[in-house]
Structure 1
Amino acid sequence: MKTYSPTPEDVNREWFIVDATDKILGRLATEITNRLRGKHKPEFAPHMDMGDFIVVINADKIKVTGQKLDKKMYYKHSNHPGGLKEKTLREMLEKKPENVITAAVKGMLPKNRLAAQQLKKLKVYAGSEHPHAAQAPTTLDF
């Protein structure tokens, strides 16, 4: 028996839409990451981008457990002395709720160039409107 190795012609990408209303952030990000990588497919290969396109709507209506709204911090640095900036999850949800889901998914992807390619297939929107109706995404429930 020979080992199967997929080729780029074997990749079959689909479009899915996920409603993030009342979903827990970490559990939602885990499912999205598996779909972006293509781990749900039997022909999965870790060295290839086999995943699907994911459109997330209502990103501003996610839920978190415990006191994460005030205690979970997001950091960025300007590369200048004293340039460390921090925001709480509550502040991030008020300004750019799309970045919360994107950051959670990005942290679960492998740290390589393939992850950047897979992250481009994630489309996150704060409201229920999205410009991807032409792709006819199917609804995905977790």
Structure 2
Amino acid sequence: MRQTTMAKPSTVVRQWFVVDGTGCTLGRLATEVATVLRGKHKPTYTPNVDCGDYVIIINADKIEITGDQVNKKNYYNHSQYKGGLRTRSTGIMRNQYTVEWVERAVHGMLPHTKLGNVMRGHLFVYKGSEHPHTAQQPVELKIKG
């Protein structure tokens, strides 16, 4: 008889992965990273347990986008006060707020719950090729496309 394996928080073994964003498309990168953060790449995946791994994204300023998203796509924030809507285009987000731009793309692909907030804390994004997590000995994660 087969038995379903349910992961427990105490038995989860976490790894560190590093992703080089040079030449990657933002959406494809975000989906792969979200899969690793959730733990769906593991055979012991359990939806109600944080069994994902840590992910470091380097060279975030070299991530590409396709089509005319630079001019047409906008990112919105609202302060909850009248007239408090702030609109930024993709070009502005990419040039001035690169880290937030990548984090928001991954954030949209994670669950919007307390568990998703914990998973979001396992993502580290850096503009350049250097990161302070060398002591964790991260393994390179290849992104297709």
Q: Which category of TM-score, normalised to the shorter sequence, fits these structures?
A: over 0.9
Unaligned runs of 5+ in 2: none
The offset of 1:3, in angstroms, is 3.3
TM-score (norm 1): 0.97
Aligned identity (percent) is 46
- Equivalent-residue separation in structure 2 for 1:80 and 1:73 (angstroms): 20
Match of 2:66 in 1: 65
- 1:52-131 alignment runs, 5 A limit: 52-131=53-132
> Residues 37 and 54 of structure 2 are in contact (CA less than 8 Å); yes or no, is this contact kept in structure 1?
yes
Equivalent-residue separation in structure 2 for 1:4 and 1:58 (angstroms)? 37
**CA RMSD between the two structures:** 0.9
Q: Which runs of 5+ in 1 are unaligned?
A: none
In the alignment, the residues of structure 2 paired with residue 7 and residue 129 of structure 1 have an alpha-carbon distance, to the nearest angstrom, of 34
Cα distance in structure 1, aligned partners of 2:133 and 2:124: 9
Could you tell me how far 1:100 is from its partner in structure 2? 1.1
Asked if 1:140 corresponds to 2:136, the answer is no
CA contact (8 A) 2:7 2:51 kept: no
> Contact (CA 8 Å) 2:6, 2:45: kept in 1 or not?
no
Q: Any conservation in 1 of the 2:22–2:63 contact (CA below 8 Å)?
A: yes
Using the TM superposition, give the Cα deviation of residue 9 of structure 1 relative to its aligned residue in structure 2, in angstroms: 2.5
Cα shift at 1:79: 1.1
Task: Give the distance between the partners of 2:16 and 2:4, measured in 1 at CA.
Answer: 29
- 4+ aligned runs moved over 3 Å, structure 1: none
